[in-house]
Chains A and B, each alone.
Chain A
Amino acid sequence: MIRRLFGADANIANRNIGYSKSMSSNEPGLIIILIDQSGSMKNRCGSGSKQSKAECIASNVNRVLAELCLRNTKDVGGVPQVKSRIDISIFGYGCDADDRRAVRSAFGGALDGKSIVKLPDLAQNYLRLGEQGENDKCSISLPIWVEPKAIGATPMGAALSKAAEIAEEWVSTHRTSFPPLILNFTDGEVNDVTPKKLKKIADCLTSISTDDGAALLFNCHISSGKGDSCMLPSSKDEIPAEVSASLLFDISSSLPRLMQQLARARGFAQVDDNTRGFAYNIDVTNFIHFLQIGTVGLAGSLG
């Protein structure tokens, strides 16, 4: 009776479904965050905001990193420990002090220059504790890992290439893990490669896979406060008629079923198998939703 319970059929069925692995200490996941640090990120984050776009992204990325650490903190023998369920990679792209286009690790301090950081190491090595959020009533003191920066051009092609390099090396030693998730935050247009070349680089990136599926690339364009916006569209009919919107839509992956559920839980009722992990010209609130769906929601739900 028991022999019938076991067999390769179950494994084959699971491979066909994909994006179902739990993020665990034995099989961690990888989240790569790419942050546009070009000069235009100095501008305000939408109308009425006190923060620049660079400050908004840095502040919310720090908040999400803290939440990832907290969600994966367990007590082990009476000692709180952060479990090594997620590997984190954060790269900023813009220009360096000599005005050369640069893609560099956004970590500083003890993590300076590191391409990938395990969650327990992240929890222990922050730049400082700082106040999070604009709201004085609920600002709390949490670690800061990423500082806002805004200088130079937008070498998005180089950033996606770097992400591909990181992801390729990582999957070679994590074949059975949930595939890499890449989140790209920008306020502008790529200017180091042509749109056609960017699409090619993105295709290479999303062809990198583990046994659980291909890498996911989600793109988020931060608002300048003007023009039409869209969030998690299912077709090009829903996006503003701008070249940059069309390009970012084309290179964005579709949401796997689990993320569709997470999006619906956050009020995005219209998601389906065609929905792309893409947001264009969005404000701070929707940016936070997008970031959380792709990180905390995912990591919190899986394992």
Chain B
Amino acid sequence: MICVPKSEKSLEECEDVYGSLGFRFAISDGATEYIGSQLWARTLITSFLHGFDPFDAHVWEFNSRQWEIACKSLYSSSSWFGGEKIKKGSAATFLGIVFNDNLNFRAVAIGDSCAFHFREGKLINSWPMTDPGEFNSNPTLLFTNHTPARPLVWQGSCLKNDSVVIATDALSKWMMELNATGDNPLAILKEGSKDGMNQFIYDLRKSGKPKLDDDDVLAVLIQL
């Protein structure tokens, strides 16, 4: 797993969250302009890992209420900006994937976190984005205070020794841009991590070709 926060943040402030349980894996990218987004991301992931659909209306309502209770107890209402931020609610992207014994998978997603399917080390599919031009500063989000839209769904099958990488937007965009130049993103990430991932990510942000956006970075390699 790769998890490196945006350069101005500490690891505790990183709003990209990951979880796994059995054959279930999920990532969620808390929207930076909302408060409690890390908490909301964790709530969505926990819900998915325990077999619930975070997009189901009843599940969503439960999750939203849990978030609100936790936030009100966590954040002081004595500052005007803390109180105002809680009123606005929170939001996050989400991508969850579950495999069965036959290596078939079903993925659900909202927003710009992506899944990459590699076979024999080569990228054969990315989802839901397929082009780096699709990334922007306004991805679709799952909110605490708006009924969720239906997610995108991807079903497929893997072979033994395939790899699947799930990643939040900054690294997803970078991997697509790198793949477009003919380089192998999976191989690069594996090689880069040997000398320390923090330095590798720092170097990519400063002078990489392509350059990595300065945002929280999260990627999980699932080796089948």
Contacts and interface: CB of A to CB of B under 8 A. Distances in A.
Contacts of A82: 81
A297 to B, nearest CB: 10
Nearest to B10: A76
Given A82-B81, A123-B81, A10 B209 contact: yes
Contacts of A10: 207-211
B85 A5 contact: no
B13 A74 contact: yes
Interface stretch (B28-36, B95-103, B107-115, B154-162): B28-36
A103 to B, nearest CB: 30
B74 interface: yes
Contacts of A78: 74-75
A80 B79 contact: yes
A263 to B, nearest CB: 15
Contacts of B207: 6-8, 10-11
Nearest to B191: A2
B76 A79 contact: yes
B223 interface: no
A22 B214 contact: yes
Contact of A73 (B6, B35, B191): B35
Query: Shortest 9 CB-CB distances between A and B: which pairs?
Result: A80-B82, A25-B8, A24-B8, A78-B74, A6-B207, A73-B81, A301-B137, A5-B209, A26-B8
30 contacts: A1-B183, A1-B188, A1-B191, A2-B188, A2-B192, A5-B183, A5-B208, A6-B204, A6-B209, A7-B209, A9-B209, A24-B8, A24-B214, A25-B8, A26-B7, A66-B84, A70-B85, A71-B33, A73-B81, A73-B82, A75-B35, A79-B75, A80-B76, A80-B81, A83-B8, A123-B79, A129-B80, A142-B80, A143-B80, A303-B214
Interface of B: 6-8, 12-13, 32-33, 35-36, 38, 74-76, 79-82, 84-85, 88, 137, 178, 183, 187-188, 191-192, 203-204, 207-211, 214
Nearest to B85: A73
Contacts of B210: 10
Contacts of A22: 214
A301 B213 CA distance: 13
Contact of A4 (B6, B75, B209, B211): B209
Contacts of B38: 75
B75 A80 contact: yes
Interface residues of A, number: 37
Nearest to A9: B209
A18 interface: no
Contacts of B187: 1
A77 interface: yes
A70 B211 contact: no
Contacts of A70: 81, 84-85, 88
Interface in A153-175: none
Nearest to A140: B84
A117 to B, nearest CB: 15
A255 interface: no
A69 interface: yes
Nearest to B12: A77
Contacts of A24: 6-8, 214
Nearest to A143: B80
Contact of A80 (B12, B35, B191, B211): B35
A11 to B, nearest CB: 6
B137 to A, nearest CB: 5
A129 B8 CA distance: 31
Given A11-B207, A22-B214, A80-B75, A75 B80 contact: no
Interface in A1-54: 1-2, 4-11, 14, 22, 24-26
A76 to B, nearest CB: 6
A108 interface: no
Contacts of A69: 81
B7 to A, nearest CB: 6
Nearest to B88: A70
Contacts of B137: 301
Contacts of A2: 188, 191-192
Contacts of A4: 183, 209
A63 B178 CA distance: 42
Nearest to B71: A75
